[in-house]
Amino acid sequence: MRTLRRVCVYCASSNQVAEHWRETARAMARCLSRRGIGVVFGGGSVGLMGALADAALGEGCEVIGVIPKKLLELELGHRGVTELVVVETMHQRKHRMAELSDAFVALPGGWGTLEEIFEVTTWTQLGYHEKPVGLLNAGGYYDHLLAFLDHASELGFIRPAHRPILQASADPDALIELLLRAELPKLDGAVLRGPAGP
Ligand code: AMP
């Protein structure tokens, strides 16, 4: 079983979602805090990000936000976090978030959340890091996406050996348990090349 010092949490910036989704973010914050795991996140004060950071800070958790200067200047940054790392570009931000974290979780979110979780999943697939990745499928939010990923795997677009890289659970504690135990595929040229096509 691996140790998780910090988990990177990607989640919605939207304020236009029902209150219970914010509660989902708080539940994840409480789960991480109970386990003594720090939070790395996008540094925003809005949407589920704000709810996550506020709840984690309230529980006494270490919370590191990583935000590009442009978003900070738009006053979207959370000013109360343990540490706010300000970077120049979105690419630097994602790189720094990944460096600081031992695992990645996506809560419900939109474009940004999807983009971020898929990027780190690809990095695990290609062996750029050996870190587990999970979706918090709260309220079945990701049911359709998970069905699509199974479909993509059945068709061979996602190699079946790589499909388990992205774990999922509706429950924060169950998800963290999966990440603690996840066996990541070893980087293998044969798997990446696969059988010769027709
Ligand atoms: P989205 O899912 O499209 O709402 O995007 C949320 C994700 O993108 C978060 O995990 C952040 O890393 C990043 N992000 C998007 N908008 C903001 C914002 N206003 N402030 C900080 N981070 C943001």
- Domain assignment present for 132: yes
Joined tokens for residue 127: 């062996």
Confidence (pLDDT) at 198? 53
* Pair 176, 102: CB distance under 8 Å: no
- Domain assignment present for 187: no
Spacing, Cα 49 to ligand 1 middle (Å): 8
Q: Looking at residue 53, which CATH number applies to its domain? A: 3.40.50.450
How many structural domains compose the chain?
A: 1
Mutate to test the pocket of ligand 1, among 113, 118, 133 (most ligand atoms within 8 A of CB): 113
Confidence (pLDDT) at 197? 59
Confidence (pLDDT) at 19? 97
CA–CA distance from 69 to each of 43, 46, 99, 178 (Å)? 11, 16, 19, 35
Q: Which domain holds residue 142?
A: 6-182
- Domain assignment present for 192: no
Does this model's pTM top 0.85? My answer is yes
The pLDDT tens digits of the residues spanning 9-54 come to 999 999 999 999 999 999 999 999 999 999 999 999 999 999 999 9
Confidence (pLDDT) at 191? 77
Which residues does the chain have with pLDDT short of 50?
A: none
- Domain assignment present for 188: no
Confidence (pLDDT) at 24? 98
- Domain assignment present for 139: yes
